[in-house]
Amino acid sequence: MLALTAATLFTPSERVDLPLVLVEDGRVVEVTSCASREVPAGARLADFGDAVLSPGFIDIHIHGSAGHDVMEPDSGALPAVERLLAQHGVTSYFPTTVTAPVETILAALERLATAVEAQNGDPARIGLRARPLGIHLEGPFISHTRRGVHSPELLLRPTCKIFEDFWQAARGHLRVMTIAPELPGSAEVIAAAVKRGVCVSLGHSDADFKTARAAVGAGARHATHTFNAMRPLGQREPGIIGEVLTDSRLTADIIADGIHLDPAIVKLVLQAKGVDSSVLISDAISATGMPDGQYRLGSFEVEVKHGKCLYQGKLAGSVLTLDQAVRNVMRFANWNLQQALRPATLNPARVLGIADRKGGLVAGAEADIVVLSPGGEVRKTIICGQVG
Ligand SMILES: [Zn+2]
């Protein structure tokens, strides 16, 4: 048994001072305080001093890191991405595809499904790597007008046939799908995805308010990088952003790097969605954790300079890490650490329907824990009970 102590713990909904966390067989057995329980005899004690314990971060939108793209066939790609994620406190992630020829997407989905199935192996053998829990399909069912850097000639009109092909290739591990609800055929595909238990996320969309609201009625529950690749907010036509900010049935994610959104817009979205319905994503590409230069996003060569990823003058993903996003939220929105942890831990777990085992530092959950400084710097990451 492993016993962890520190100055503070955020479950994250609750605060525990001088916490004592007992871990066995990769699971949290008990969360209590040093004042109410002795360290059990024979337990291995890890005392983290003035640190803060948080559930591990969950990134539901990430394309790559450490020089690798998650769609690469190279078998070393995902492990490299996963090691870098772990250094930044991310313990679970949802590798995210970009628009590509259908055959390429299908092949990537098959490989990613294999990686998801392998994540339950012996934790000691896998080592300190974030675990892929499912796949996020971003594109090809997105708007031409709001495609960002997705290839225009490869965008597709949504059909249940293609969706089903993706679902089969991913062997049921497709967990999130970003879709533009205004495309002909979207309503049917949203219904099919909801039936499969996929989280339908509105994004890369030029939808007006009414169309976006109808998609929520059809089962859409989340919004992808709110404000980015969306029809702008208007005072008489609120558009998709108006719907995302005002409908409590929707959770919404943002790229809080200070580049994709002005800090004031980060604050605006966080205030609108609140501590319960905001989610932080990285949208990170292969350049993350690497020096400036040329990097790959899907089939594009992206130029990375001073933290900005550009393809032909357009923003093409980020080099953001989730720990930095948490610290940015503290700065941009004046949220305290406990509040800023919510959109990186419990909220994404709820969006994905895995909050019974991930996203909370509570008894019964898997032992994915980040040890943070009081200012939110990662000091150590614990994955499935393995201390890094
Ligand atoms: Zn993306």
Q: How far apart are CA 340 and CA 333, in angstroms?
A: 9
b/e 145-169 (16+ beta carbons within 10 angstroms → b)? ebbbbbbeebbeebeeebbeebbeb
How much distance in Å is there from the Cα of 96 to the middle of ligand 1? 7
Q: How far apart are CA 242 and CA 36, in angstroms?
A: 48
Rounded to an integer, the average pLDDT of 155-169 is: 97
**pTM beyond cutoff 0.95:** yes
How much distance in Å is there from the Cα of 98 to the middle of ligand 1? 7
Rounded to an integer, the average pLDDT of 31-59 is: 96
pLDDT in tens, 189-205: 999 999 999 999 999 99
- Predicted confidence band of residue 231 (pLDDT cuts 50, 70, 90): very high
How much distance in Å is there from the Cα of 316 to the middle of ligand 1? 8
- Predicted confidence band of residue 296 (pLDDT cuts 50, 70, 90): confident
304 pLDDT above the threshold of 80: yes
How much distance in Å is there from the Cα of 159 to the middle of ligand 1? 21
Q: How far apart are CA 171 and CA 191, in angstroms?
A: 19
Residues 6+ apart with CB under 8 A from 120: none
In the chain, the domains with their CATH numbers are 56-357 (3.20.20.140)
Contact predicate 359/55, CB 8 Å: yes
Q: How far apart are CA 62 and CA 282, in angstroms?
A: 6
- Predicted confidence band of residue 292 (pLDDT cuts 50, 70, 90): very high
Identify the CA nearest to 165 among candidates 134, 143, 196. Answer: 196
Q: How far apart are CA 142 and CA 270, in angstroms?
A: 25
How much distance in Å is there from the Cα of 120 to the middle of ligand 1? 26
How much distance in Å is there from the Cα of 168 to the middle of ligand 1? 22
* Positions marked active-site: 283
Contacts 24+ apart (CB under 8 A), 10-13: 10/52, 10/53, 10/54, 10/337, 10/338, 10/341, 10/361, 11/55, 11/360, 11/361, 11/362, 12/54, 12/55, 12/338, 12/341, 12/342, 12/345, 12/346, 12/360, 12/361, 13/342, 13/346, 13/360
pLDDT in tens, 106-118: 999 999 999 999 9
How much distance in Å is there from the Cα of 117 to the middle of ligand 1? 23
126 pLDDT above the threshold of 80: yes
How much distance in Å is there from the Cα of 112 to the middle of ligand 1? 16
How much distance in Å is there from the Cα of 160 to the middle of ligand 1? 23
Contact predicate 70/186, CB 8 Å: no
- Side-chain half-sphere of 18: how many Cα atoms within 13 Å? 7
